[in-house]
């Protein structure tokens, strides 16, 4: 009986390792996604080394910043052949901002969204993206630690 339990455990471990190691494919990315930013978590991480007063001030402001970010709608529409359309809607502005960016999947299976530069603005999503359950999770390019950005399918 213990032998059967052991074999099942080994099979489950192998299967979980296989699913985690699967590389992102174009079909996984295509479609419409909405960006979410967890600024509270980011500020907690970035203020760990600050003094008590500095930390309290930064964390107090984070709630306000999160409320502002929550009303800004950033939508990505990934199309085949590496084209992604970014739409930004700000409730206080009538004009909807639209930009066309490029994307690719690298050899390691991470999604990369290329930066955009113009005279008026710069858009940079300097992260590696990988499916984490139902969301595309951003990871730091150098440390591979989770970032506070996610894309959720719409």
pLDDT at residue 113 above 90?
yes
110, 103 in Cβ contact below 8 A? no
- Over residues 72-107, the pLDDT tens digits come to 889 999 999 999 999 999 888 888 999 999 999 999
Is residue 113 within 8 A of residue 74, CB to CB? The reply is no
Q: Is 111 exposed, middle or buried (0-12, 13-18, 19+ CB in 10 A)?
A: buried
Domain boundaries, the chain: 24-40+72-153
Q: Is 116 exposed, middle or buried (0-12, 13-18, 19+ CB in 10 A)?
A: middle
Can you give the pLDDT at residue 136?
96
CATH T-level fold of 24-40+72-153: Lipocalin (2.40.128)
How many angstroms separate the CA atoms of 55 and 67, rounded?
19
């Amino acid at each position: 009986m213990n032998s059967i339990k052991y074999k099942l455990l080994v099979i489950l471990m192998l299967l979980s390792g296989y699913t985690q190691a699967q590389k992102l494919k174009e079909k996984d990315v295509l479609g419409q996604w909405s960006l979410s930013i967890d600024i509270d978590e980011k500020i907690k991480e970035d203020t760990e080394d600050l003094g008590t007063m500095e930390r309290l001030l930064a964390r107090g402001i984070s709630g306000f910043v999160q409320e502002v970010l929550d009303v800004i709608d950033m939508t990505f529409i990934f199309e085949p052949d590496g084209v992604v359309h970014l739409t930004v809607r700000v409730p206080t502005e009538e004009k909807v901002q639209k930009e066309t960016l490029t994307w690719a999947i690298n050899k390691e299976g991470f999604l990369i969204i290329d930066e955009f530069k113009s005279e008026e603005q710069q858009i940079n999503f300097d992260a590696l993206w990988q499916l984490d359950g139902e969301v595309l999770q951003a990871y730091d390019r150098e440390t591979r630690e989770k970032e506070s950005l996610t894309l959720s399918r719409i």
